[in-house]
Homo-oligomer: A and B are copies of this chain.
Amino acid sequence: MLKKGILLTVMVATLLLFGSTVFAQEVPALAGELFQYHRGQDIFFMLMLVAFLMLFIKRYEWGVCLMTMLVLTVSVPFYFAVQTIYFGATLDMSLIILGVVCAITLVIAAGMFLGQVKTWQYIVVSILFVTAYSINEWFLFTFLYGLADAGGSLLVHAFAAYFGYGVILALRHKKIFDTPMAVTVHSVSFVWLASMLLWMLWPSFTTALLAPEQVIGGMITTYMALMASALVSYLMLLAINKKIDPLIYTYALLAGGVTIGSTVDLVGPWTAYGIGIAAGIVSCLCFIYLHPALEKILGVRDVMGVHNLHGVPGLIGALFAIPIAGGVQVSGAVGTVIIGLIGGAVTGIILRALGRNEAYVLDDEESFAMTDPRANEGIPLPRDTGVSM
């Protein structure tokens, strides 16, 4: 049943991508496929930038990049193998896109348990995640009928957040609370760069699975939602705190892109703008009020605030589609939370059995040997000293 389900999902997606181009007015099949080339690449681009969005912790910069590359290089080929070997899918442009969408979901989720897991364990996490993600993919697009989520509010964002929550709830890693998390000016400048480029690339993500004739419309709704959330986040932070916390603003300005995911192809530009306003307000409120409250209640730390940008705004995005798609949106949201939490919890329990990351929480010294790399003074180049860095 499950196998058949995922197969169907892939078939539907393939049909969406290629079938539609055949019937689409005036876009021949090869041209349509070539158009996907740069959009596929854009999603890889976004995956890399998600790493730099999380690069702000002074003692944990290179480790975020290394985690990202590990997650990418394990989960994508594993996803390809599962889909082609077990379910007979073809390794084509559409599977490339589906694979990197799966991987970017895990990179987002990892922001929640960053530093709480040993670096090599991301290999294990990737295998387990792909499995849980595939189940949710089947649930949303095969088990349920008529769900609106072309841009991944549920499939990607909400699932990432609740899988992450499952992991940290199972790990219950207290040491993360004692770890100093300072930033430097330029570490935050990298975050600005990543956030602003993610903002620009976002339509490639939300429209990746749309038919060619829907793409421009999806680009417009996505940018409208993003412009709204970026403006309203500034106003919210100014109103509440007088000063702008750059590590809230650079995240919350993206909330419109998260929330528009379910309705990207279903609403007009100014409705999208309204959805973006709601997304920005909700995300800021989550960062300022919900985040510390949940930390106190649950006793676990969402390191990057994934729940504030992806969790709640993702769920709300699904609910905004109720007037169009009906109650199936509620089922999709509830199911995603449950599958995410269970999948994450199982992963967390297995990780706990493999040993938590006790010595080097949020510290590059775990993976990279260096005398005092954080003084921002020069470190001798390993090849000159013969010392491994």
Measuring CB to CB, which residues of chain A are less than 8 angstroms from any residue of chain B? 24-31, 33-35, 37-38, 40-42, 44-45, 47-48, 51-52, 55-58, 61-62, 65-66, 68-70, 72-74, 76-77, 80, 91-93, 96, 120, 180-190, 192-193, 196-197, 199-201, 203-204, 212-213, 215-216, 219-220, 223-224, 227-228, 230-231, 234, 238, 241-247, 249, 253, 269, 273, 291-292, 305, 367-369, 373-374, 376-384, 386, 388-389
Contact = CB atoms under 8 A, between A and B. Distances in A.
Contacts of A28: 25-27
Contacts of A73: 227-228, 230-231, 234
A14 to B, nearest CB: 13
Nearest to A35: B34
Contacts of A187: 186, 189
Contact of A31 (B31, B182, B193): B31
Query: Could you tell me the dominant secondary structure of chain A's interface residues?
Result: helix
Given A70-B231, A196-B51, A380 B213 contact: no
B34 A216 contact: yes
Nearest to A55: B189
Contact of A69 (B196, B201, B386): B196
Q: How many copies does the complex hold?
A: 3
Contacts of A369: 242-243
Given A76-B227, A200-B45, A389-B246, A378 B26 contact: no
13 contacts: A27-B34, A30-B213, A45-B197, A58-B378, A61-B186, A62-B188, A66-B246, A73-B227, A96-B219, A184-B378, A189-B190, A245-B388, A292-B386
Which 5 residue pairs of A and B lie closest in terms of their CB atoms, listed nearest first?
Answer: A182-B378, A26-B28, A243-B369, A73-B231, A44-B200
Contact of A246 (B68, B180, B228, B368): B368
A305 B382 CA distance: 13
A54 B215 CA distance: 33
A193 B52 contact: yes
Given A212-B30, A234-B70, A245 B382 contact: yes
B25 A30 contact: yes
Nearest to A34: B35
Contact of A24 (B30, B44, B72, B186): B30
Contacts of A367: 243-244
Nearest to A273: B77
Nearest to A93: B216
A92 B216 CA distance: 7
B61 A185 contact: yes
A303 to B, nearest CB: 10
A80 B269 contact: yes
A214 to B, nearest CB: 11
A151 to B, nearest CB: 15
A219 B389 contact: no
Contacts of A180: 378, 380, 384
B380 A182 contact: yes
Given A376-B184, A381-B181, A388 B66 contact: no
A201 B35 contact: no
B374 A185 contact: yes
A37 B61 CA distance: 33
A182 B227 contact: no
A74 B231 contact: yes
Contact of A376 (B33, B185, B213, B382): B185
